[in-house]
Amino acid sequence: MAAMHTKLVLATLVGWVSLAAAAAADDSPDYGSDVRPLLRARCTVCHSEKNRSKVEISGGLVLDSIEGIRRGVGGKAVVKPGDPGKSSLITRLSETDEDLRMPRDADPLAEAERELLRRWVEAGLPAGGVGGTPSDESVEVGRSSRPARTGTVSISYDRPLEKNESKPVSGTIRLVAAPMPPVTALAFSPDGGRLAVGSHGRVVVWDLPKLEPAHFVDDFPGMVGSLLFPDGDRLVIGGGRPAIEGVVEIRRLSSGKLERRLTGHDDVVAAVALRPDGRALATASFDQTVRFWDLTDAATAPKVFRGHSDFVHDVVWMPDGRSVLSCSKDRSIKRIDVESLKETMTYSGHDSDVLSLALRTDGKEFVSGGIDSQLRIWSVDSEKSTKRLSGHSGPIHQLASSRSAGLTATASGDGSARLFRGDSWAPEATIPNLGEWQYAAALDADGKTLALGGWDGLTRVWKLDGKKQRLAATLVQPTLDPSKPDWLSVAADGRARASAVLIPTIRRVEGGTDVEPRLKGE
């Protein structure tokens, strides 16, 4: 498979082993739901239709469509439907000779991954719902690439005592939701009163005091990788379509109008960062570049830094506004002088992909996290990390910071979040048992509210008080259909609101018995 890259585990698909194991329990995997995400993670950076003519990269093999897989290489088949043992696509995965085994120059696939591909060939290469052409898109996740999930959403709560009740009542709001796209990006407005939630093709801006949507963006092209509020009325959305285009849009929420569209990246924009003076934007992309955009002059072409050798996952501005930090799948962190586009420092030490960065309050230190599950603390003036923080058992997909409050939060693939207070990076609290991979985290400016989102499509909003955390609300946006901007919010005490269309489909269960839903609709 991929010959030019090592460890082609798209950091957006960390934890595939869990998915593959789950898929193995189904009757038969299909290309759209099961195989395509795995191939995108480990293979199609090289073995894609766009690289077919670049034999030194792809070897002439195309794996981003069923047609390409069936075509094989030079008229020679790589799969024999129904017979994995006679399919070189399968047998090359288990070669003991590292020069023959695929992926070349990378870690071998896990047993569960190999078994999934073997069963797919054995089943005759079923296409599934996606259809298997390069132009089709499964749900692309900011820091993963799993298909949209379906099923029943259950949100628990503890209702206050009512008359004649002697003990608190626990209940559940249940909703059949299909599809439930993963939450891939989060951002608070400057005043903390609104929360932008990004998923595939959609951003919902929630009014938190009312626990209802204030704005919908339903026409973003592809996955949403990053969000930020430059001010109270503008929203910046970064994302795009994998291996096709990266897009940044600046939207006016009050009018709903698109103020500016930034194009030029050849792959998904994973992160956007605003210069401290608000006059420039930095963008990090899977196309291996960091770009710098002048927001005061649309005619000025962006500056492009090309010093990374693989996906760039995050970028943050230094307080002086003259340099940025960027991190990459190439395992490095770089400090870049924006004016000269020179690399002034490279920070090495992570064992695998570096996914996220956050600055300390005074900008003299920063923290990084990635697939290796450890946080590393760095002085901006030293190439070696000064401290490591353990605790997570899965990849750290995102770091969120409230620099004014001296608080940093993590979102991890182990289904938990952790909080670190102050410049000492002392662990303050852990929020465990969130159930699914957490991809996105955001802190409001004063560090009093934390939002977390991930694979299950739910956004949870937590109120923070020192070492105490209280779940305040759960937000759900269960459809990608622009004609049905459905939504549901459930407060910790069971108060719930929902779009009118959803209300008839929602159940409230207390003590094992269905009760009156008691929902407010819009």
Which string of DSSP letters, residue by residue, matches 225-237? EEEE-SSSSEEEE
State both tokens at 252.
Answer: 């006016």
**What pLDDT was estimated at residue 481?**
53
β pairing state of 513-515 and 519-521: unpaired
Question: From CA 83, how far away is CA 73, in angstroms rounded?
Answer: 18
**Residue range 249-294, pLDDT digits in tens:** 999 999 989 999 999 999 999 999 999 999 999 999 999 999 999 9
Reference 280, options 261, 265, 266, 297; nearest CA is: 297
Question: From CA 74, how far away is CA 91, in angstroms rounded?
Answer: 19
State both tokens at 367.
Answer: 């923290």
SS3 for 354-366, per residue? EEEEEECCCCCEE
Query: Residue 120 in contact with residue 29, Cβ under 8 Å?
Result: yes
**What pLDDT was estimated at residue 186?**
98
Query: Residue 20 in contact with residue 114, Cβ under 8 Å?
Result: no
Q: Which residues pair with 498 in a beta bridge?
A: 488, 521
Q: How far is Cα of residue 218 from the mean position of the Cα atoms in its chain?
A: 18
- The phi and psi torsions of 251 (rounded to 5 degrees) equal -110, 140
3 state DSSP class of 469? strand
- To 10 degrees, what angle do helices 111-122 and 16-24 make? 40
Question: From CA 310, how far away is CA 11, in angstroms rounded?
Answer: 11
Query: Residue 34 in contact with residue 45, Cβ under 8 Å?
Result: no
Question: From CA 424, how far away is CA 245, in angstroms rounded?
Answer: 40
* CA distances, 440 to each of 143, 197, 368, 396 (Å): 8, 9, 15, 10
Question: From CA 344, how far away is CA 333, in angstroms rounded?
Answer: 11
State both tokens at 225.
Answer: 């990788």
* CA distances, 472 to each of 156, 398, 463 (Å): 12, 21, 6
Give the total residue count for the chain: 522
* CA distances, 166 to each of 29, 153, 162, 516 (Å): 51, 29, 8, 20
State both tokens at 274.
Answer: 């605003």
Low-confidence ranges of the chain (pLDDT < 70): 1-27, 41, 45, 50, 56-57, 99, 104-106, 128-151, 178-179, 479-484, 521-522
**What pLDDT was estimated at residue 180?**
72
Give the strand order in the sheet containing 333-337: 312-317, 323-328, 333-337, 342-347
Query: Residue 58 in contact with residue 74, Cβ under 8 Å?
Result: no
State both tokens at 495.
Answer: 């108060």
* CA distances, 148 to each of 47, 241, 406, 456, 511 (Å): 24, 16, 36, 9, 31
Block residue for tokens 């696939």 = 109
Query: Residue 350 in contact with residue 372, Cβ under 8 Å?
Result: yes
**What pLDDT was estimated at residue 440?**
97
**What pLDDT was estimated at residue 149?**
45
* CA distances, 144 to each of 147, 148, 227, 379 (Å): 10, 11, 16, 30
Question: From CA 186, how far away is CA 270, in angstroms rounded?
Answer: 13
| Residue at 132: amino acid letter | G
Question: From CA 472, how far away is CA 311, in angstroms rounded?
Answer: 35
DSSP-assigned letters across all residues of 178-217: EEEPPP-EEEE-TTSSEEEEEETTEEEEEETTTTEEEEEE
- The phi and psi torsions of 313 (rounded to 5 degrees) equal -100, -30
Cβ neighbours of residue 55 under 8 Å, at least 6 residues apart? none
Block residue for tokens 């991954």 = 113
Question: Omega of the bond prior to 103 within 30 degrees of 0, cis?
Answer: yes
Q: At 55, which helix (H) or strand (E)?
A: helix 55-58
Query: Residue 74 in contact with residue 83, Cβ under 8 Å?
Result: no
State both tokens at 163.
Answer: 């008359």
Question: First vs last Cα of the chain: how many Å apart?
Answer: 51
**What pLDDT was estimated at residue 97?**
76
Q: Is the dihedral of CA 221, 2, 106, 77 positive or negative?
A: positive
